[in-house]
């Protein structure tokens, strides 16, 4: 049987890199994409791994990466939309530039990659799209107003896409990680707007941040192994799963809390995890 092929965005670090290595180790061809492939050495040295440029905000680069993958391997069986931007700030502090950049990458970039690969998958009558979101796409988090908006959008978009594509033999699912503090994504998130709005607002924002980090640490976020996310991505790509797939101990805690309607009761339960006491 011919080897299957996956295209993954955002492979330069973190979960994207782990996912690329996971698929490769399990016998897949991998199109590992990133904005600066000339800097990549580890993945480029692996057999049946094509490292190529893809910037999800640049439609030409998306199409070129898809074409390169098809030319090298002949088909794309799975596409993993992992590339994303993060940033922490109160909405009042959030710059228009940062917010628009998040939406361009996290929402419109994901949509553009899907548009580029769907004609190929539709012509074959099969394929799978895995969109990596976040528990911030299930739950509104203080200091994450812009990021939560993007991830809620991708969760909703993927659910609609699932229904659109199911009759065509194509699957669309999400993987929603909790907080994995050992990834570069968390380390690289933009906190630059924290100083906007004066000392009182900055102090309040930092208080919220410190409380949330403590809550995440208490739920195992500092020790959580991001390989769990890569494994979940592979599982979703290769087996029948629900549309929405949370991963991580804190994500499972949130899902368990959500089980009891109505939503206001759920918000009351989760509030102590997110907001410090007065």
* pLDDT recorded at residue 272: 86
Q: Where are the beta strands (DSSP E) in 168-242?
A: 170-177
Listed residue (80, 242, 81) closest to 159, CA to CA: 242
Multiple choice CATH, 5-274, 3.40.50.720, 3.30.70.3270, 3.40.50.1100, 3.40.50.1370: 3.40.50.720
Confidence of residue 268 (pLDDT cuts 50, 70, 90): confident
From its phi and psi, is residue 10 left (phi > 0), alpha (psi between -120 and 50) or beta?
A: left
C-beta separation of 50 from 3 below 8 A: no
Residue 108: DSSP 8-state: I
Mean pLDDT of the chain: 90
Q: Over 60: is that where the pLDDT of 187 sits?
A: no
127 or 275, which is more confident: 127
Contacts of 42 (CB under 8 A, 6+ apart): 17
Domain residue extents for the chain? 5-274
Q: Integer distance in angstroms from the first to the last C-alpha of the chain?
A: 62
Tens digits of per-residue pLDDT, 234-264? 999 999 999 999 999 888 888 888 776 566 6
Confidence of residue 267 (pLDDT cuts 50, 70, 90): low
Tens digits of per-residue pLDDT, 86-131? 988 999 999 999 999 999 999 999 999 999 999 999 999 999 999 9
Active-site position among 147, 162, 180, 204: 147
Catalytic (active site) residue 204: no
């Amino acid at each position: 049987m011919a080897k299957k092929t996956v295209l993954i965005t955002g492979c330069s670090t973190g979960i994207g890199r782990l996912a690329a290595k996971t698929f490769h180790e399990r016998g897949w061809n991998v199109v590992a994409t990133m904005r600066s492939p000339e800097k990549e050495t580890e993945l480029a040295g692996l057999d049946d791994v094509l490292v190529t440029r893809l910037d999800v905000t640049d439609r030409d680069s998306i199409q070129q990466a898809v074409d390169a993958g098809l030319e090298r391997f002949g088909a794309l069986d799975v596409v993993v939309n992992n590339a994303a931007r993060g940033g922490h700030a109160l909405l009042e502090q959030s710059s228009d530039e940062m917010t628009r950049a998040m939406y361009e990458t996290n929402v419109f970039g994901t949509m553009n990659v899907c548009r580029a690969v769907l004609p190929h998958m539709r012509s074959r009558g099969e394929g799978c799209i895995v969109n990596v979101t976040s528990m911030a796409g299930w739950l509104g988090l203080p200091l994450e107003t812009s990021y939560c908006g993007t991830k809620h959008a991708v969760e909703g978009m993927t659910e609609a896409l699932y229904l659109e594509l199911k009759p065509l033999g194509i699957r669309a699912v999400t993987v929603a990680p909790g907080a994995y503090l050992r990834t570069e994504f968390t380390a690289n998130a933009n906190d630059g707007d924290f100083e906007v709005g004066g000392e009182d607002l900055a102090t309040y924002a930092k208080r919220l941040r410190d409380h949330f980090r403590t809550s995440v640490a208490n739920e195992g976020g500092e020790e959580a192994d991001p390989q769990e996310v890569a494994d979940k991505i592979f599982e979703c790509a290769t087996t029948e799963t629900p549309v929405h797939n949370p991963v991580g101990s804190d994500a499972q805690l949130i899902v368990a809390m959500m089980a009891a309607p109505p939503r206001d009761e759920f918000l009351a339960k989760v509030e102590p995890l997110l907001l410090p006491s007065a």
